[in-house]
Chains A and B, each alone.
Chain A
Amino acid sequence: DGGITQSPKYLFRKEGQNVTLSCEQNLNHDAMYWYRQDPGQGLRLIYYSQIVNDFQKGDIAEGYSVSREKKESFPLTVTSAQKNPTAFYLCASSIGGQGSSYNEQFFGPGTRLTVL
């Protein structure tokens, strides 16, 4: 069964702690993305990766870090420097490649992070 998995679904952390959110895909997609969703707002891009061992900052990268050591995996770390980390985090992937006709994004189920 192909798709994107994110774990855990709900995550609670104390203020000042770093936390890593998991994202795995078995769609053989080159491109992967992390978004943050807050109530009343659209999806805001945190980081994206076009290929293994390469990634770029999105619109709101401050306080976050990522790695892309494997094609299937794109974990996101929410660091203690992120001032307002409580949010719904969505991971997505797409076939990738500039000029690709098929760059629709497939989303995982999301992780709801609450920092206490």
Chain B
Amino acid sequence: GQQVMQIPQYQHVQEGEDFTTYCNSSTTLSNIQWYKQRPGGHPVFLIQLVKSGEVKKQKRLTFQFGEAKKNSSLHITATQTTDVGTYFCAGDRGTSYGKLTFGQGTILTVHP
């Protein structure tokens, strides 16, 4: 079956440092989504990427979708303590009504 691998599993940074998490799918995706889960909370949708090579920005967050539509990355510039949480990518193959396969997530800790 489809697999989505995400690295690293953990990332500890000092406030102000940059952070990147990478996602790789074993199959070509229709689209990829990113979610953030705060400690003790539930996942919240951040963004969806659909086009090959697409780059989207949300303030300090930059999302990329690979040319082959099999990999993606999330980059945070100058992290803040409010960025702490787990970041998940989720791949959609486009075959089953919005069925997503989630990566294992990257747990981000930001030290003030």
Which residues of A are in contact with B by a Cβ distance under 8 Å? 31, 33, 35, 40-45, 48, 50, 56, 58-59, 90, 92, 94, 96-101, 103-110
Contact = CB atoms under 8 A, between A and B. Distances in A.
B98 A90 contact: no
Contacts, number: 68
Interface string B1-23: 10010100100000000000000
Interface in B51-100: 88, 90, 92, 94, 96-100
B45 A105 contact: yes
A19 B97 CA distance: 28
The secondary-structure label for the interface of chain A is: loop
B48 interface: yes
B6 A42 contact: yes
A42 B103 contact: yes
Interface residues of B, number: 28
Given A48-B96, A48-B99, 4 more contacts: A42-B6, A59-B1, A90-B43, A106-B45
Nearest to A88: B42
8 contacts: A44-B102, A94-B98, A99-B94, A100-B98, A103-B92, A105-B90, A106-B45, A109-B41
Given A103-B92, A104-B48, A107-B43, A41 B97 contact: no
Interface of B: 1, 4, 6, 9, 31, 33, 35, 41-45, 48, 50, 88, 90, 92, 94, 96-105
A35 B50 CA distance: 24
Nearest to B2: A59
Nearest to A51: B97
A31 B88 contact: no
B9 A31 contact: no
A105 B100 contact: yes
